[in-house]
Amino acid sequence: MDDMVGASPAICGVFEKISKVAATEMPVLLTGETGTGKELTAQAIHARSVRKQGPFVPINCAAIPETLLESELFGHERGAFTGAVQQKKGKLEAAAGGTLFLDEVGDLLPSLQVKLLRFLQEGTFERVGGQETLHVDTRVIAATNVELKAAIDQNRFREDLYYRLGVLHIHLPPLRDRGEDVLLMAMVFLQQALAAMTHKTIRGFSIQAIDALRTHSWPGNVRELSNRVRRAVVMSEGEEITRQDLDLVGEDIHAADSLDSLRAAHQRIETELLVKALTFHRGNMSRVARDLKVSRSTLYRKLKQYELEKFTLSLAQPMAIPKTTRKSNGDASPSKRSPMMAEEPSIETSLQPAAQIL
Ligand SMILES: Nc1ncnc2c1ncn2[C@@H]1O[C@H](COP(=O)(O)OP(=O)(O)OP(=O)(O)O)[C@@H](O)[C@H]1O
Ligand SMILES: [Mg+2]
């Protein structure tokens, strides 16, 4: 469930860091724009840590009213405030033996920042209205999509807490910086959506849809991509997901009325077909060559021409983070294949017609 898709250098760097920080007990700070996968990353760290049998408890500091947050986080004693009819454990205790995911940590009130800092330094805290000092074995992973440095400058976030939280820091890159991961993820999300909708027979994305996926700037990052693909599967009426299905009309830089030279159009189509075939066949050259009806040597020449060799290599690598955790033995063999590759549909397109144009 927590498998993260990606093969770009940017996300592979993240995968490496996840494996490394999973092997420690220190707090982790996750940063990144909305929808880049901070929560998924927190889950991945937990699932690869020695705490994986323990609970993973998320709490969103921005979604809980300030007056309730302290009690939600640290719990309260009976009679601590009006309505506190019985003692209640907070999320910190609920996560004992596991991981507390403190989302939107930048929204924590200064008084709670002090309490959190003390917990991180000494492992101790008191429930609201409680006298007893409690100890709990909980690992903290925090996340923010705002610049905490700016909050520190404005005295809204404690610098000492920032440094304590951020010893291990993972930044999730925006989707627009992950190159062909967009297509890879789009294919995976498509297969996932199709698995839930058995009456649809969709073979893949149209060339224009692939173009739109590659050129859109993805302000909502992976969440936006996932939502658009799921929506497209519902809306689609044909065998291919179109740009319209993705609701990315009007963003195509190769709009019908813009003039491409014949050579540029030819190269664009070839690139798109190659990416499509490579993604479908996970870089399996024989299958790609067979589907595109070219020889393997022609295929290699084309890949070189369009600088797709790196993309090919990345596809042959595991798309998910290896399940190994504490010991890094350098074995990066895929422990689990993405469902998108289980059945490999044939791409009924060929390089041949395009090649004949010139
Ligand atoms: N690398 C990835 N592979 C597959 N799915 C991903 C990946 N990254 C994110 N997702 C999916 O994208 C969606 C958003 O991810 P997530 O909730 O972790 O983002 P976030 O950074 O916490 O966003 P926000 O800041 O808005 O809370 C989720 O459905 C998640 O499963
Ligand atoms: Mg989140």
- Judged on CB neighbours under 10 Å (0-12, 13-18, 19+), 328 is middle
Written as one letter, the residue type at 223 is R
Which ligand is nearest the CA of 224, by number?
A: 1
Among protein residues, the one with the nearest Cα to ligand 1's atom 18 is 37
Q: Report the separation in Å between the CA atom of 39 and the middle of ligand 1, taken as the mean of its atom positions.
A: 6
If you measure from the C-alpha of residue 258 to the centroid of ligand 1, how many angstroms do you get, rounded to a whole number?
35
- 36 ligand 1 Cβ < 6 A: yes
Residue 328 near residue 23 (C-beta atoms within 8 A): yes
Report in angstroms the alpha-carbon separations of 307 from 33, 54, 71, 77, 187: 29, 46, 56, 64, 21
| Domains of the chain with CATH codes | 9-173 (3.40.50.300), 179-357 (1.10.8.60)
At 44, list the tokens: 């991945």
Q: Which residue has the tokens 């921005």?
A: 62
Ligand 1 atom 9: residue of nearest CA: 37
In the three-class reduction of DSSP (H, G, I as helix; E, B as strand; rest coil), residue 20 is classed as: helix
Specify whether the CB–CB gap between 240 and 186 falls below 8 A. no
Q: Is 145 in the pocket of ligand 1 (CB under 6 A)?
A: yes
pLDDT at residue 347 in the model: 42
**Atom number of ligand 1 nearest to Cα 43:** 18
- Mean pLDDT, contiguous 10-residue spans, the chain (358 residues): 78 94 96 96 96 97 89 92 89 97 94 95 94 95 92 93 94 94 89 84 85 92 97 90 90 53 76 80 87 91 79 55 38 36 38 35
Pair 6, 12: CB distance under 8 Å:
yes
How many Å separate Cα 220 from the centre of its chain? 12
317/8 Cα distance (integer angstroms): 10
pLDDT, tens digit (0-9, with 9 covering 90-100), for 224-252: 999 999 999 999 998 889 999 999 987 54
Given CA atoms 65, 67, 70, 73 in this order, what sign does their dihedral have?
negative
* C-beta of 38 in contact with ligand 1 (< 6 A): yes
The answer, yes or no, to whether any atom of ligand 1 lies below 6 A from the CB of 291, is no
- In 3D space, the residue among 174, 179, 239, 173 whose CA is nearest the CA of residue 209 turns out to be 239
The closest-lying atom of ligand 1 relative to the alpha carbon of residue 225 is 12
Burial string for 91-109 (b: 16+ CB within 10 Å, else e) reads bbbbbbebbbbbbbbbbbe
Residue 35 CB–ligand 1 contact under 6 Å = yes
pLDDT in the model for residue 356: 33
